[in-house]
Structure 1
Amino acid sequence: MKTWHYALIVFLGGCCLGILSTFVKLAYTAGYSMSEVTGSQVFIGTIIIWIVTLFIKKKKLHVMQTLKLVLAGIPMGLTGLLYYQSLQTLEASLAIICLFQFIWIGTLMEWIFYKKRPTSGKILSIVILLSGSVLAAGLFGDKIESISLHGMVWGILSAFTFSVFIFLSGIIGKDIPAIQKSALLSTGGLVVTFILFPPFFLVDLPTVVGIAPYGFILGIFGVVLPPLLFSIGMPHVGPGLGTILTASELPVAVVMSALVLSEHICMYQWAGVGLILGGIVVGNRKY
């Protein structure tokens, strides 16, 4: 497989994440709490990926290898919890801008741990992406009357944990089948989610039945596919370029808001989407 194929796989992983915010909003509108939404997402998603592993050839792992992969999945679980928490007190546009900081955080981590200084092209790409994110998120549309400091902190923390997850996806378990690796990563996310938010909703049958459709969609696009796609692509593109490719999340979120939620998207927001896609091309130009 050529390198640009791996870049495309990571790009698609970011697209999957962009679908989540729309269905989280739908679940909140239906009256479900954050703990129920996140709990159903990780529970159903983890079950699905483990079922898939039954039909593949798996590699026998030592206890420490298994533990490392499960621990590496913890940042994935924390990202969802922190981001959904930020949405409780922040405008959605501000929350996603906070999460979007993973772009430069990932490049900084690559510089610190790999001693790989970002090129001028990569820096230009990050500037374009961040500029596009401000436009695409619609910060200039509605007046933001108040900004929650706590919400900002949760959002920035979600960017950090997401960057850590992307970084770990590229360096741990490179020789392990992607589906098997994804299942263990998802298990780590499940464990930390249920520790912080015990799944009491699972004993309430009406709640389980009602939230199951949301949990299924969120589980597929938030738990099953992203770790799987990142496990395949990240080891070949690296965390710096990987975070740039994952910026595909925001354009997809904007398009989904327009198509599913019927939200009005201004011209400057579409311009922001175009800038983000252009920034991804700039950062990925060598492929």
Structure 2
Amino acid sequence: MATLSTLFVLLAALFWGLSGGIAGVLMADGWNPLVVSFYRGAIGLVFVLAWLALRPGRSGLADPRLWGWSVMAGLGVAGNFTFYFVSISEGSVAVAATLMYCAPVFVFIVSFVLKLERPTPLKWAAIVMVMLGIVLLTRIYDIQPDGVTPLGVIAGLLSGFSYAVFIFGFKYAAPHGSPQAILVIAFAALSLILFPLGDTGQTLSALGTPSWPLFVVLGVLGAGVSFILYVIGLNYTAPAVAAIVAMVEPVTASLFGIVVLDERLVGTELVGMGLILLTVTALSVVSSSR
């Protein structure tokens, strides 16, 4: 069962990586990042609703605490999707995915502030290493016209911070209800937030255009199937293993950008990416093993 669960986590990370590339294709065709984010979440909502219908027991939907924390998770995932796609549109899939992978660092910083986690020299050193990696990856010391824009850097980091918000919301909602109920509320909140914020004309016309298969694949892989696989897989996968497997997401997204979207990374950017991926993974493994 443990091997199968690890495979579920691996597939979820792979699908999330592919979703970044698919979103890159859609936005290159002129689709608004908010519209792309809306469809990723709205189609995901259909899947988690079906999951809840099949497994309705102990949903906790009558508990207001579940709703409060789940809505917080929804705000986090809405921000994560949107800022991630904005970062892609302002830079590249590889840079955006790697910046989003910094989410565990934000989790640690928030945990330090809330006194949920004890800061140690090792953790602070890891955070400094990640910051150095961000500088090398984004080359913020030498922004080029055809490179990552400052907005792309900020949006990428905000996508990681938003994912940290989702993690906290999901964690504190979990004692009050089932994972499927939490995801239903979270994706419903996402849909209600993003629909009015996006280009309404694009949103209403999207599924009637030649791009509709990409929107469907994005929603199915990027939210519907992946979140279900990830939640189920985590039940029987050691946190340290999950942390290592999660590296598949930015690597897959980066390869998609290079192979399909013809993106390129120079030497310092590759060094920065490697520094971030290895440091964040090591930090997650060490933390989860304690």
CA contact (8 A) 2:195 2:203 kept: no
Q: Is the 8 A contact 1:105 1:163 kept in 2?
A: yes
Distance 2:56 2:97 in 1: 38
When normalised by structure 1's length, the TM-score is 0.73
Query: Which residue of structure 2 aligns with residue 211 of structure 1?
Result: 211
Within-5 A mapping of 1:226-265:
227-228=227-228, 231=231, 248-261=248-261, 263-264=263-264
| 2:20 pairs with 1:21 | yes
Residue in 1 that maps onto 2:107? 106
Unaligned runs of 5+ in 2: none
Q: Which structure 2 residues correspond to residues 29-68 of structure 1 after superposition, within 5 A?
A: 29-60=28-59, 61-62=61-62, 64-68=64-68
2:266 and 2:190 map into 1 onto residues whose CA distance is 36
Q: Which residue of 1 aligns with 2:220?
A: 220
Q: 1:257 to 1:110 in 2, by over 3 A?
A: same
Deviations 1:70-101 (A, max 9, x none): 34212211222233234444465665565454
Q: Deviations over 1:87-120 (max 9, x none)?
A: 4444656655654543422111112224312344
Secondary structure at the aligned position of 2:210 is classed as helix
Report how many residues are paired: 285
Structure 1 pair 95/17, CA: closer, same or farther in 2 (3 Å)? same
Q: Are the aligned partners of 2:21 and 2:93 in contact in 1 as well (CA < 8 Å)?
A: no
Q: Matched residue of 1:104: which SS?
A: helix
Contact conserved, 2:66 with 2:176, CA < 8 A, in 1? no
CA contact (8 A) 1:40 1:211 kept: no
Instruction: Give the 3-state SS of the residue equivalent to 2:175 in structure 1.
Output: coil
In the superposition, relative to structure 1, how do residues 132 and 148 fare at CA in structure 2: closer, same or farther (>3 Å)?
closer
Q: CA RMSD in A?
A: 4.4
Judged with a 3 Å threshold, the aligned counterparts in structure 2 of structure 1 residues 236 and 161 are, in CA distance, closer, same or farther, namely: farther
Which deviates the most, 246-255 or 136-145?
136-145
Give 5+ residue unaligned stretches, structure 1.
none
8 Å Cα contact 1:43/1:219 also seen in 2: yes
Alignment CA distance shift 1:203-1:266 (3 Å): closer
Deviation at 1:220? Answer: 2.7
Contact 2:98 2:273 in 1 (8 A): no
State the match for 1:76 in structure 2: 77
After superposition, the Cα gap between the structure-2 partners of 1:257 and 1:268, relative to the gap in structure 1 and judged at 3 Å, is same
The equivalent of 2:182 in structure 1 is 181
C-alpha displacement of 1:7:
8.8
Q: Would the aligned equivalents of 2:90 and 2:149 in 1 still touch at CA under 8 Å?
A: yes
Deviates more, 1:94-103 or 1:44-53: 94-103
Percent sequence identity is: 19
Alpha-carbon contact 2:39-2:215 (below 8 Å) kept: yes
Structure 1's 231 and 189: CA in aligned 2 closer, same or farther, altered over 3 A? farther
In 2, are the aligned partners of 1:170 and 1:230 still within 8 Å (CA)?
Answer: no
> Which amino acid counterpart does residue 52 of structure 2 have in structure 1?
T
**Higher mean C-alpha displacement, 40-49 vs 256-265:** 256-265
Q: Given residue 114 of structure 2, which amino acid in structure 1 is its aligned partner?
A: F
Distance in 1, matches of 2:244 and 2:113, equals 17
